[in-house]
Structure formats: C-alpha cells, structure tokens
C-alpha cells in the first residue's frame, strides 16, 4: 500500500497511511490462527501419540478462555453500542461473525482428527476409547453396579417445564439434555442433568475401579456422560428416555473490578470470582444430532441467539483429555530430559558469590529453575541477608518460592511480596498465598489501582564487608517451578549496583505511594517502556539512513500495539531489516509493498510454550539486548507494571545473538511464517537442507552452553 519516505502522510480519514486499517490484522482472528497452529501440532504424526492428545486438550482449553474473555468482551461492546474500532477497523458484530465463520471448520477438523485418527491410534496402543453400546454384557453389568453405588447418589435431575424453572447452567459445566416421554401420557418432557466431572474422572475405566494411573497392557475407557446416559432409566422411572444429548455453556468470565470503590481488594476479588459461574452466556456447545426443539428451548431460556451455538461431533469439553495425556506410557510420550544447572548456581551455599563474580542467565526449561529456588532458600537462612522483595503473578500450587519466603520470615528477614490478585484464573490461588504470607508477617501488597503488576523481579539485600549489596533476579516468566518445565523463559541474576538501585526504587513505588522515579537501566511500564522501545526503533532508523546496517530482532508472545507496529513499518520503509518471532497474536502485516517489505514474521509452536521476550537492536555494532516480561500490547505498555532489563555481559549477549536467536529464527521444522493475508505457512526446507527443530536442538545442546555464556568470543 503506502510507500515513500515514512514521513507522516494523511489518508484523508484522520489517520496516517501507516495507520490505515488494511495494514492491521484483527487481533481476535490472529489469535484464532495461533490456535489453528496448536491444532496442527495435534495433527502432526511426528509427535508421540499422547503429546498429540495433549495438543488437542490445549486447543480446547484455549478456546474456552478465548470465549470467556475475548468473545464476551465483544458481546459486551455490541450490547453497549461501543463504536471505537480497533486498528483493523472491524466492528464488534463483524468480528463475532468472522470468529464463528473461522471456527466452524476448525471444530470439524478437531472432531475428525479425534474420531478418525487419534481414537484408532490409541486403540492400536492398547488404549481403547469405547462407545457404551460396544461394551460387553459383563462390562455393562459391572458399570451399572458402579453407577448405582458411586454416581447415582450425587446426580440431581432437574425438569424444566411450566412448573419447574429452567435450571441454572454454570460456566463450562458438562450437561445432558434429556428428552422424556411418559409411558401413559405420551407428552414429551425435558430435564437437565449436570455431569459431575469435578467428582469423577471424565474417562471411566472398565471394569470400574481402576484408574488411568494403573499399569497394565490394555485399558478400556468410556466417557462419564455416556455411562450416565445409558442408565437414565434409574433416574426417571415411569418415563421412556427418548434421547440424552450433551451440551455445555460458556459464560463471561472477565472480572470487572471497580477498584476505586473497593475498600478491601482481596475481598472484592473473592466476590468477583464467584461471578464467573453466573456471567452472561457467550457460547453453547451441543452435539450433532440434538433435536432442534431441545436447542430452541436452551437458546430461549438462556436468551442467546442461534449464532452462539456450536455443533460438534467430538466429545464436548476436550480440555479434559489432559487426563488421558497424563497416562503413564513413556513409550508414546516425549522423551524426558533433566535440565542442566550452570556451574556455581547449584551450590547450596555459594550462589551469591557466583552472582557477585559475574551475571548469570538461565534459559528454561532447558536449564533448571532450581537456582532461583536456591537463591531464595539461601537468602532465607543466610545471617547476612537483611531483606527480600519479590513480585508474584502466577505462583502455582505447592510453591517452593513461597515456602522460601515463609522460611525467611521465620528467620527474621524483612520480606515484602507484591501478589497480583488480578492474575486471570489464578486469583483464588493468589488469595490463598497472600493470606498465608500475611499470617507469617510478610509485608503483602495486592497490586496497584488500575494496573496489573506483571513484572517478574526479586531482590535480596545482603550485608557484606564493603557494605550493603543488592542481588537481583529478573525474568521473562513467572516464579512458578511447574511452568518453568514447559515454558521457555530467560532469567537473569545480577549484582549490578545500578540495577539493584532501580529494583529498590521500583519496589518503593509499588509498595509505597512515591511517584514513579526515573530509572537508570530498567525500562518500566507504564512510564518509560513504550518510549524506550519507540526511541530505539527511531535510533535504528537514523543509523540505517546514514550507514545502511539497521537491524531489529524481536521475540515475543504478541504484537498488537498500533504505535509500535507503525514504528516498525517506518523502519521497514527506510530499509531496516526487521525479524520478528511472535508466538501468538501478530497484528502487523509483513511483506506489504512499500510498507513492510523488509519485515519477516515467524512463529514457533512446539513441545514447549515459547514465552520468552527479547528485543535486539544492532545499534551500529554497539548491540543492545533487552529481556523482560512485556509483550508489545496496549495492556502491557499502558495498563501493567512491566520490566525490560538489559543484558550487558558481553558473553551472555553474544550467546543469545550468535547461538540462541539464530537457532530459533532458522527453525525449519516448527517455524511457521506469517503471510500478508494473515495466514501462516510452514517455513520451507531447501532440498538437502537438514531439519532444524529449535526446541529439540536446545534440549540436546544445553550441556554445552555454560562455557559459551561465560566466555565472550572475539568479534570478527
């Protein structure tokens, strides 16, 4: 579209040519393309079978969250008459229509994959997903007995007719719509039964009594809802059961917290969590074959339109297949590996001397999270340590990080923890940890009004011979030992005095009421991060105009922010080489003539969740590498506390730019390339070119990294 020098030119519609809606991919449709890539991993036969099941589960879980948050938001905009359009110009109504149009074939593809490929492949491996009607007579007798003893007592059939109100359908619950006919009256009746998936496994082993964790050659499994449907005569004596059809309702789960009116944020968040059960319905999933009258009754009672219904033939709620993916069958799972621990960082007592000697970078999950835990455990017991301060966003259950903080408090250290109560879908977990830490005497702060604290930073203040020294750990990922095994993230240890001072200023701003300071080395949202990125892009443009050697490389989870995209378009117009690896949403269109011809966008979806954020600027040979918690999205730059931190150690920076980034950019197995039209294709492999899978390469080469990260090569 637009060409030229990159100077501001008006389009005649109140925006510059580089802000024209045609130059932006819709955020929601870009996310659906990301989830399509997840589904394609389930289709990839090079994955072990249970890993393919895992991707099917992730695809469904992703969709649940998408509807609960993004689709619900669009429906609220539609109901409230919101007219402000996103950068791509799509109205809420058009976005909802496009979402439905895009999703229907994907759901059909998911169903076909499960029924025609995954189930037969599981059968070949001795894992039999049985239809109830195909069970033997003996199995049916045993299962009926199990149903009467274990399941029947907890079921509550609810009729809906003029004398019975329509029962409440909670968010993401699996239900059976039962059509009944009285033996004598002949009139049809309807009832609903909630399938108790929170009390029983979704897949019931036959004969009953065994579990998925039991060993054995062959296992036979039947879905819980099929078992219930086959025994409904026990629940409705005197009636003929004409049909039982699974359905599922998704509700608006995006918490709207009026923080200005909240005297106690913790209590308000607790009360808001309960509202997720009763939010407005945004989607109804039904199985193919459910009679139209039953669909009509559900739609009428819920007050939703026909376009909010999705018919599928596969089992509903396939996120529950994670039960199956966890089956103890190492022969059809990814080969396990033990993350490496860099020298000096695994020592029980010497981690502070190692960090004082030289910065250290961890690359999870290839390198262990243990050093992070060790630093806090050592700090908890070290008499020289005076204080620990940390931000906690998603901590997880049974957290060794929280245990270390509790130990530190028991040993008389000053401990401050900023726990973000508004971390979506982790609110309950974080509330529990907040209360436990408060009981132990930890200074707990719940977050800032109007902002989420998404930064991942920890500081330890230690008294040493030459005075107080601050040790800092900063990361692209959460302080969560479980996710560190499946998310790719960078974590930096440093004793740099300027970064230590920045960390202290940041925590004072977070826990006190001081005005946000200027920072020495850190970029901190919402105050300095956006401008820090934009000014560096501009610096690269100016450098390229004079010397022609401009280069920008970003690796992140999402690129949505209009200002940042326009800045990258301007850089491309000037000829700057721009390489972007964006795992998920990308609203930038690469390859647009005269606008983004020098921009290449790729995405890796593989065994691990690509979660690291890296921002590289060649800067005329004075290369600058920033890592941190922020993606380039308006929420990260304007409505969150985020931190980007510099990698100043020459050896570490060189290792990142000469080894790790090229391996990921050159991946020709899992890399997909974004096209101008918003679709993705697999990166092609040249004839004779060896396969290069970045994640597999990192697993096999992790033991070699320590020397590279500690010894900077001579630049040619």
Q: Contact, 41 vs 604, CB < 8 A?
A: no
- Of 47, 454, 473, 611, the catalytic one is 454
Among 640, 642, 630, which Cα is nearest to 450's? 640
Which 3 state secondary structure label does DSSP give 481? Answer: coil
Q: Which helix (H) or strand (E) holds 297?
A: helix 292-302
Which 3 state secondary structure label does DSSP give 690? Answer: coil
Among 530, 680, 692, which Cα is nearest to 600's? 680
Taking 3-state DSSP, the helix, strand and coil percentages for the chain, each rounded to the nearest 5, stand at: 40, 25, 35
Q: Contact, 169 vs 195, CB < 8 A?
A: no
Q: Contact, 560 vs 634, CB < 8 A?
A: yes
Among 459, 462, 458, which Cα is nearest to 385's? 462
Determine whether 550 is exposed, middle or buried from the number of CB atoms within 10 Å of its CB (0-12, 13-18, 19+). Answer: buried
Hey, what are 79's tokens? Answer: 């109901």
Q: Look-up: residue for tokens 């219930």? A: 228
Please state, in angstroms and as integers, the Cα–Cα distance from residue 15 to each residue in 10, 12, 380, 570, 587, following that order.
Answer: 6, 7, 55, 15, 17
d(CA 623, CA 657): 9
- Secondary structure of 632-671 as H, E, C letters: ECHHHHHCEEEEEEECCCHHHHHHHHHHHHHHHHCCCCCE
Hey, what are 408's tokens? Answer: 């530190």
Q: Contact, 540 vs 612, CB < 8 A?
A: no
Q: Contact, 405 vs 441, CB < 8 A?
A: no
Among 535, 545, 602, which Cα is nearest to 573's? 545
Q: Contact, 72 vs 252, CB < 8 A?
A: yes
Please state, in angstroms and as integers, the Cα–Cα distance from residue 107 to each residue in 118, 172, 286, 668, following that order.
Answer: 15, 17, 12, 27
454 annotated active-site: yes
One DSSP character per residue, 126-189 reads TEEE--GGGS-HHHHHHHHHHIIIIIGGG---EE-BTTBPPPP--TT-EEEEEEEEETTT--EE
Sign of CA dihedral 474, 477, 479, 483: negative
User: What's the N-to-C CA distance of the chain in angstroms?
Assistant: 39
Catalytic positions are: 454
């Amino acid at each position: 579209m637009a060409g030229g020098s990159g100077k501001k030119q008006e389009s005649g519609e109140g925006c510059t040519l580089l802000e024209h809606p045609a130059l932006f991919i819709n955020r929601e449709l870009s996310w659906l393309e990301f989830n399509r890539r997840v589904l394609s991993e389930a289709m990839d036969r090079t994955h072990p079978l249970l890993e393919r099941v895992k991707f099917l589960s992730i695809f469904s879980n992703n969709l649940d969250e998408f509807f609960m948050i993004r689709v619900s938001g669009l429906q609220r905009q539609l109901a409230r008459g919101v007219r402000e359009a996103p950068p791509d110009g799509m109205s809420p109504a058009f976005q909802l229509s496009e979402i439905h149009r895009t999703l229907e074939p994907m759901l059909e593809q998911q169903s076909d994959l499960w029924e025609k490929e995954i189930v037969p492949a599981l059968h070949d491996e001795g894992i039999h997903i049985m239809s109830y009607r195909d069970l033997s007579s003996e199995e049916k007798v045993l299962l009926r007995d199990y149903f009467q003893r274990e399941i029947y007592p907890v079921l509550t059939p609810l009729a809906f007719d003029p004398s019975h109100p329509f029962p409440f359908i909670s968010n993401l619950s699996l239900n059976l719509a039962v059509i009944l006919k009285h033996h004598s009256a002949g009139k049809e009746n309807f009832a609903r039964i909630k399938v108790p998936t929170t009390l029983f496994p979704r897949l019931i082993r036959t004969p009953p009594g065994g579990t998925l964790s039991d060993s054995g050659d062959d296992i036979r499994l039947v879905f819980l809802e099929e078992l219930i449907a086959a025994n409904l005569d026990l629940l409705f004596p005197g009636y003929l059961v004409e049909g039982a059809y699974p359905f599922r309702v998704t509700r608006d789960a995006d918490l709207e917290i009026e923080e200005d009116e909240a005297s106690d944020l913790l209590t308000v968040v607790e009360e808001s969590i309960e509202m997720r059960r009763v939010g407005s319905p945004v989607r109804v999933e039904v199985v193919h074959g459910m009679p139209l009258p039953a669909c009509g009754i559900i739609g009428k009672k819920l007050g939703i339109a026909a376009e909010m219904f999705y018919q599928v033939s596969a089992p509903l709620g396939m996120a529950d297949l994670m039960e199956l993916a966890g089956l103890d069958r190492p022969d059809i799972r990814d080969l396990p590996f033990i993350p490496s621990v860099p020298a000096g960082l695994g020592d029980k007592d010497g981690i502070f001397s190692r960090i004082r000697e030289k910065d250290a970078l961890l690359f999870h999950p290839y390198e262990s999270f243990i050093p992070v835990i060790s630093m806090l455990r050592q700090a908890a017991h070290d008499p020289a340590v005076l204080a620990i301060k940390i931000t906690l966003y998603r901590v997880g259950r049974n957290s060794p990080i929280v245990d270390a903080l509790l130990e530190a408090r028991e040993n008389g250290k000053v401990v401050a923890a900023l726990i973000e109560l508004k971390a979506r879908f982790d609110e309950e977990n974080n509330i529990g940890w907040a209360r436990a830490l408060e009981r132990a005497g930890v200074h707990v702060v719940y977050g800032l009004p109007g902002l989420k604290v998404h930064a991942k930073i920890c500081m330890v203040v230690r008294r040493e011979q030459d005075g107080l020294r601050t040790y800092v750990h900063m990361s692209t990922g959460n302080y969560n030992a479980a996710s560190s095994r499946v998310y790719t993230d960078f974590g930096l240890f440093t004793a740099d005095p300027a970064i230590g001072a920045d960390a202290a200023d940041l925590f004072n701003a977070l826990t006190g009421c001081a005005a946000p300071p200027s920072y020495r080395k850190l970029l901190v949202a919402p105050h300095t991060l956006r401008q820090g990125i934009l000014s560096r892009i501009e610096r690269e443009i100016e450098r390229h105009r004079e010397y022609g050697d401009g280069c920008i490389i970003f690796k992140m989870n999402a690129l949505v922010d209009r200002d940042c995209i326009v800045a990258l378009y301007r850089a491309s117009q000037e000829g700057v080489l721009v390489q972007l690896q964006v795992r998920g949403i990308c609203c930038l269109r690469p390859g647009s003539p005269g606008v983004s011809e020098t921009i290449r966008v790729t995405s890796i979806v593989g065994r691990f969740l690509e979660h690291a954020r890296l921002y590289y600027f060649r800067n005329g040979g004075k290369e600058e590498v920033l890592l941190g918690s922020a993606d380039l999205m308006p929420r990260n730059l304007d409505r969150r506390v985020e931190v980007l931190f510099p990698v100043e150690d020459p050896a570490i920076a060189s290792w990142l730019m000469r080894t790790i980034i090229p391996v990921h950019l050159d991946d020709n197995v899992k890399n997909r390339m974004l096209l101008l039209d918003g679709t993705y294709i697999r990166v092609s492999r040249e004839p004779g070119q060896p396969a290069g899978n970045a994640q597999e390469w990192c697993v096999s080469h992790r033991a070699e990294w320590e020397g590279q990260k500690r010894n900077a090569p001579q630049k040619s």
